[in-house]
Amino acid sequence: MKNAKRRLTRGELQILQMLWREEPVTIAGAHQALAEPIGYSTVQTRLNRLVTKGLVRKTKETPTRYEAAIQPHDVMESELRTLVQDVSGGVVPLVAQLFREHQPSETELDEIRQLIQQAETRLQKKPRR
């Protein structure tokens, strides 16, 4: 995430996911669109915190509308970087944990094989020093 170094809370991530589906929304629209029953003032607080962090923009019109200032890939990139660097200690332990927790389908395994082939191709093209 370009605009935030801190990890997102579950509640903040829920707000962003809703904004990616529904944007732009008013506080009332956000409250209605969220899948979990949370208070109106909680939605308002979370939206305002995300605005302060630079992850959500709000309009100057009345009523105020909110929209995501970042894309899902920005969040994924940041969260994965944290997992790889700070939590798991590398890509291999992270992937090993994923395989322990989740049995990939044959289709997912095919996609993973393609990703490995692409990574090997990039590695072979990289100039040696």
pLDDT at 3 over 50: no
Contact 21, 64 (CB under 8 A): no
Residues 66-116 pLDDT 10s: 999 999 998 888 788 877 877 777 888 888 888 899 999 999 999 999 999
Asked whether residue 50 is domain-assigned, the answer is: yes
Provide the token pair at 16: 């962003």
Check whether 17 has a pLDDT greater than 50: yes
Assess whether 14 and 62 both reside in one domain. yes
In a domain, 80, yes or no: no
Domain of 118 in residue numbering reads as 90-125
Same domain, 23 and 58: yes
Residue 60 and residue 19 share a domain: yes
Neighbours of 27 (CB within 10 A): 18
Task: Say what percent of the chain tops pLDDT 70.
Answer: 94
Domain-embedded: residue 74 = no
Q: Domain tally for the chain?
A: 2
Helix, coil or strand: residue 61: coil
